[in-house]
Chains A and B, each alone.
Chain A
């Protein structure tokens, strides 16, 4: 008999099944997925190869657009004598700080581009934007900076002060770099000009050559000795006057040679084997054995064509010199007066933790200038007095009467003296001309060959090629899996819509 009132027995568990006809149960049979993957393996092997090839090719393609432009670098070393105490530092030949902006200046870049044909239309501004000049610290300065940088971590005020006051010196060399990929002056432009590697090196080479030429033009003293001989006219001038002119010419040559630096004076000519010091000795010797010797004879015998005119010339010269001397003496006495009455600054100095104070005088720049000016006036006055005394001495030596035969003898000797002096002048001139084309005067800065190599495109892209290759493989595998998975989803969807189909599917599966 059926129990029509089924009541649960005591302690019996009740199972509640909620049956909602609209819900689906989605199950994916992984086994079938892998089976699908196996079926499609041949196709996806090719897809894998395709993704791998694409993955490896993309970085190579990207390299063309994103490669680091080549930078060429050169070290420039300065090769000229500098004032004592400044050796090995970045200064000009006269001891001032060297302005490195000259390397990127318009005249230098313009000179570099002269007669240079490049594959791209570059302007000076474009080149300047890609040029970089870097100074190199001396070893001592590098050490100082390293030590102070280390101490700076201590955040000590004294260390910061020392950092500020630390004397930083730079070596007599600097680095110049030129990068490829030039941007036109219009910054919004996307165009980039790239030179060939060889062109870039040639351009940097030319820039540094032009820089050297600029230094040479600015600082090399390529004056030749003054020609005080060509205007000596033995017809117009009397014998003593010719001798005076010859002496002046020799003194002028001596002054010219003496002003040269020691390195120049010690340079030995490859044509004569002599140095400028030795030429100066020759000048003094000729002055003594030729000019002074003839001078003594001329004045001792009073050998001249027109004594009165010579005497007149000397008196006039003395008068002019005396006028100059009077002017200088006036300046000296005026300056003396000013210096006597000048009031320099008075400074009060007081001691810390003390009531006492004292005053001290401090000279002003103007006062110092006056003092040095006064010393120059004294030197000028001494020089003028010397010249006056020498001319007076010549005037006093004019005496006696001359015979024509003596004049002829002296004129013949005078011609030889003039020839000797001219020969000396030509020799000194040739010596200096030889010097001016030597490295002493043509090479103020030397640079190493511009170097720089573009990274090999395979080496540069190798990492990216590996990464993208792996991504390609992962993508291919992903696609393969999805392709195997997709049919299973479609099948599940079909079976839910058509239960018969599901049953058939089940039977088919059981079969």
Chain B
């Protein structure tokens, strides 16, 4: 066979095999195509994201992305709420964190003592800060490309809104202060003080965790300071007025309340003390086992039952009872003090000199008599003071809310919760997947064709050389 003929025949064979392989690959690719879908990424860049913590200090996850609330809002936004259900979308939504390739090894690696790296921190608690979100079209294969993209885009937007709301820090006004005027003066002050204490604790917590945050030159520590000033000046002054003047809308009622509370607490205390005695008796009667070691030639073994456990449980029960007694005693003392304040008994100090030359004070009591008009005037002052305190409290709380809002917006915005553009992925003829399939199907066919050509060539050359010989 002439060289040119052979080359031509080989080329033809290869082309035919290649085409056959291409056709087979095309048929197989279309018979079992990959899934069509749209994908996007969400990346978290706020403080604490790498530790898995949201700006409000708590763990976060992406469960909200598949929540009914987000998906139904997204369907509505995309104008597809009449066409598809939340469950259909949920089943075709896939969320996956982006992790380094060797994350399993990183998180479970152990550095042997025998290497020089034993001091290294080996266990890594890794939290993904980037997630890929894919929506497949298995719920409706005929859905338009643009609709699918719009739907995923709407889901991501709704999710971001929900995420920012859920993981931001927020403060609502205290609803207990809504009907303050319905209560008596001591109770109004009690409610106000409780409210101020709650806000102060919250502001202090924020100041401790986010000391660097400033708005118009002020931070959370300044807010806490304002609350404390309100408490120590306005509220304490009002408390003094109310208690020292025994001011009340209905003194008998309050006295009756305190007396009954004291009675109930005393009943509780009596029973708790009895219980403490009974538990103490049980503990004293209980014989805790000796700890016995059995020694043999080879080993030393401890033999014991669970008496230590039982003993510990009894002691824990006694401890709990004693804690309760302490709490009740504290409450009792507070109410007794309130009662003694409200019954209008005032104290004056009489100074006397002791042997050492130091002053000491002895308490004497005397009843202070106030006229009805003076009492009404005092009440008016208290009411005005309380109203003013409430106004100040609301003002500080509004500022606090503004600070929290600004802090949340700083931590959670478009750049700290970033969403990439939606990308459409469909199995295409020119995609890598198809090319892989072509190589897999057409490759062996081409190789077989080439081998066949080679065999033919060799046989023909052998025949030629035999003829020549």
| A237 sits at the interface (CB 8 A) | no
| A226 sits at the interface (CB 8 A) | no
Cβ-closest chain B residue relative to A136: B108
Given contacts A271-B172, A300-B252, A449-B96, contact A389 B267 (CB under 8 A): yes
Residue among A143, A268, A390, A393 facing the most chain B CB atoms (10 A cut-off): A268
Inter-chain contact B257/A296, CB cutoff 8 Å: yes
| B356 sits at the interface (CB 8 A) | no
Inter-chain contact B56/A386, CB cutoff 8 Å: no
> In whole Å, how far is A263's beta carbon from the nearest beta carbon of chain B?
9
Q: Of A24-32, A44-52, A306-314, which binds chain B?
A: A44-52
Q: What is the bound-complex CA distance between A449 and B179, given in angstroms?
A: 53
| A293 sits at the interface (CB 8 A) | yes
Q: Which of B34, B112, B187 contacts A289 (CB 8 A)?
A: B187
List of A residues within 8 angstroms of B253 by Cβ: 293, 296-297, 300
| B306 sits at the interface (CB 8 A) | yes
Inter-chain contact B99/A393, CB cutoff 8 Å: no
Given contacts A299-B260, A390-B267, contact A382 B176 (CB under 8 A): no
Inter-chain contact A375/B447, CB cutoff 8 Å: no
| B380 sits at the interface (CB 8 A) | no
Inter-chain contact A43/B461, CB cutoff 8 Å: yes
| B97 sits at the interface (CB 8 A) | yes
List of A residues within 8 angstroms of B114 by Cβ: 146
Inter-chain contact B123/A171, CB cutoff 8 Å: yes
Interface string of A362-395 (1 = CB under 8 A from B): 1111001001101100110011011001100100
> In whole Å, how far is B56's beta carbon from the nearest beta carbon of chain A?
7
List of B residues within 8 angstroms of A137 by Cβ: 110
List of A residues within 8 angstroms of B63 by Cβ: 437, 439, 442-443
Q: Of B146-154, B281-289, B344-352, B364-372, which binds chain A?
A: B281-289
| A168 sits at the interface (CB 8 A) | no
Inter-chain contact B282/A292, CB cutoff 8 Å: no
Residue among A296, A339, A379 facing the most chain B CB atoms (10 A cut-off): A296
Inter-chain contact B279/A360, CB cutoff 8 Å: no
List of B residues within 8 angstroms of A368 by Cβ: 305-307, 309-310
Interface string of B451-468 (1 = CB under 8 A from A): 100110110011001000
| A341 sits at the interface (CB 8 A) | no
Inter-chain contact B271/A385, CB cutoff 8 Å: yes
Q: What is the bound-complex CA distance between A344 and B182, given in angstroms?
A: 64
Inter-chain contact A50/B310, CB cutoff 8 Å: no
| A477 sits at the interface (CB 8 A) | no
| A464 sits at the interface (CB 8 A) | no
Given contacts A285-B176, A285-B191, A361-B287, contact A371 B198 (CB under 8 A): no
Interface SS, B side: helix
Inter-chain contact A371/B282, CB cutoff 8 Å: yes
Cβ-closest chain B residue relative to A362: B289
Inter-chain contact B59/A161, CB cutoff 8 Å: no
Inter-chain contact B190/A288, CB cutoff 8 Å: yes
| A139 sits at the interface (CB 8 A) | yes
Q: Of A14-22, A69-77, A497-505, which binds chain B?
A: A69-77
Inter-chain contact A363/B260, CB cutoff 8 Å: no
List of A residues within 8 angstroms of B126 by Cβ: 448
Q: What is the bound-complex CA distance between A139 and B111, given in angstroms?
A: 9
Q: What is the bound-complex CA distance between A244 and B45, given in angstroms?
A: 53
Given contacts A75-B103, A139-B122, contact A286 B261 (CB under 8 A): no
28 cross-chain CB contacts under 8 A: A40-B465, A46-B457, A46-B461, A53-B450, A57-B444, A57-B447, A73-B104, A171-B123, A175-B104, A175-B108, A205-B94, A270-B168, A273-B404, A274-B198, A297-B256, A339-B285, A363-B307, A364-B305, A365-B306, A371-B310, A375-B282, A375-B313, A379-B317, A389-B271, A393-B263, A438-B58, A439-B63, A449-B98
5 closest A-B pairs (Cβ-Cβ)?
A: A296-B257, A273-B171, A289-B187, A296-B256, A382-B275
B residues contacting A by CB (< 8 A) are: 32, 34, 52, 56, 58-61, 63, 67, 91, 94, 96-99, 101, 103-104, 107-108, 110, 112-114, 122-123, 125-126, 128, 138, 165-172, 175-176, 179, 182-184, 187, 190-191, 194, 198, 202, 250, 252-254, 256-261, 263-264, 267-268, 270-272, 274-275, 278-279, 282, 285-287, 289-290, 292, 295, 298-299, 304-307, 309-310, 313-314, 317, 404, 443-444, 447, 450-451, 454-455, 457-458, 461-462, 465
Known: A198-B34, A375-B317. 14 other contacts (CB 8 A): A46-B454, A79-B59, A267-B58, A268-B169, A270-B169, A290-B183, A347-B292, A362-B289, A363-B310, A372-B313, A438-B58, A439-B59, A448-B99, A449-B128
